[in-house]
Amino acid sequence: MVALLLRDVEKEPGMKKIAIVLNSAWQAYNFRLNLANYLKHAGYKVIIIAPNDKHYSHFIKKEFDFVDLKLQADGVNPIQDIKLLFSLFRLYKRLKPDVVLNFTIKPNIYSAIAARILGIHTINNVTGLGTVFIKKNFLTQIVKTLYRLSLFCTSKVFFQNKDDFDLFIEKNLVSRDKCLILPGSGVDTNKFFPAKSKQRNIFRFIMIARTLRDKGIFEYIEAAKLLKGQGAEFWVLGESNSANKTSLSKDEITKLSQHGVITYFDRTDDVKSFLDRVDCVVLPSYREGSPRSIMEASAVALPVIVSDVPGSRQVVDNGITGLFCKVKDGDDLAKKMVIMIKMPENERQKMGQMGRQKMLNQYDELIVLKHYTQTIADLFNTRNP
């Protein structure tokens, strides 16, 4: 699989260092390993920097240098964030990377600032705006100010959809000439491919996401309750985070499972095996960067249902590759689920096939990987970040 991705790479001379910085080893292993392998094959020394979880970090260490980073992804603690900034500064001073690739909010902010002080090029990837941008409060203003500072410090900014790009330009958070809109993080269409269809007596929906309010988990549950007993199952695959106040708790998940409303599965590394056992993937979230679960669903030729919001509407063509539902509206979601259930099988298959074709044409991971290698090569011809 990796060999297919790497066949077009031209190797760079020398052994320049690329650091990839994320807020979890799980994300590094599941979402950025192909990028790391692609850069490694191109002749770069790749260092992955993320919190050590003693599991995914163990697998990463088999192929790459791995550096433990003390980072609280969901925490809002100024003292801890200042410590993070200084620890990144000391780390980069020791490692001397040539380019730093940042993902998720805290690395985007503090890693970019630390690298700029040391004269190191950075590429920030705005994978999504997160809860702090969806809500409008004092914390939102702080994050916007920090983003404005960090994006001034960064060399290049990748956005995953035009809506996020337009918002950052409108709020004067970044210079337009630094920006590039990518097709999300891309999807590995060699790994995610259509399975042979299997006839089932029951229609299965699945929502693949963290069980957070902003992901639409409560609307999904509301729709499941409305449709209970109508010949469908409602699966949930994703992490429940009790530290996040908007997350569905373990107790709530247990009660909903016991009452037959949902079937819950914890986070997994094998999403493909779940996609092969369902009929439709649902994501009624409030805003996205570029939803990986929907891209992977389309890549395996499954029809999807998403809320009509930035990020999701870019990867789905309404009525062609899936259906749109109203945001924050469980009743409308239930109606779209009924439409999907009653849709003739050949129409659902055509919808899925159109979705895969869209992924192949517009969202294949190789498109994103080539953008990274080209941008990195361009930065080496630029003296100052």
Start-to-end Cα distance in the chain: 34
Dist. CA 352–CA 360, nearest whole Å: 13
CB 217 within 8 A of CB 207: yes
Q: Pick the more confident residue, 251 or 344.
A: 344
Secondary structure percentages of the chain, helix, strand, coil, to 5: 45, 15, 35
Is there a single domain that holds both residue 181 and residue 209? no
> Would strands 99-103 and 17-21 be described as parallel, antiparallel, or unpaired?
parallel
Is the distance from CB of 51 to CB of 23 less than 8 angstroms?
A: yes
pLDDT for 56-91, tens place per residue?
999 999 999 999 999 877 666 788 889 999 999 999
Query: Do residues 151 and 124 lie in contact, with contact meaning Cβ atoms separated by under 8 Å?
Result: yes
Q: Which structure tokens are listed for 335?
A: 């109606």
235 and 166 part of one domain: no
Q: In this structure, are 46 and 90 located in the same domain?
A: yes
Note whether 250 and 169 are same-domain residues.
Answer: no
Cβ proximity of 32 and 20 under 8 Å = yes
Nearest CA to 288 out of 130, 125, 109 is that of: 130
Does 40 map to a domain? yes
Nearest to 291 by CA among 192, 190, 187: 187
For the domain that residue 128 is a member of, what is the CATH number? Answer: 3.40.50.2000
- Residue 10's closest CA among 42, 33, 37, 32? 42
9 and 144 share one domain = yes
4 compared with 119, residue with greater pLDDT: 119
- Split into its structural domains, the chain has a count of 2
Domain that holds residue 91: 2-186+364-380
259: how many CB neighbours lie within 10 A of its CB?
10
Give the global pTM: 0.88
Claim to verify: residue 181 and residue 212 sit in the same structural domain:
no
Closest CA to 59 of 82, 87, 28: 28
- What is the rounded average pLDDT of the residues 216-241? 93
Distances (CA, A) of 321 to 39, 45, 163: 32, 40, 20
Residue 11 has a pLDDT of 43
pLDDT single digits (tens) 294-315:
999 999 999 999 999 999 999 9
Judge if 233 and 275 occupy the same domain.
yes
Q: Is the pLDDT of residue 4 over 60?
A: no
Examine residue 76 and state whether it is found in any structural domain, yes or no: yes
Please check whether residues 140 and 236 belong to one and the same domain: no
One domain for residues 322 and 181: no
Q: Do both 228 and 325 map to the same domain?
A: yes
- Co-location of 151 and 73 in the same domain: yes
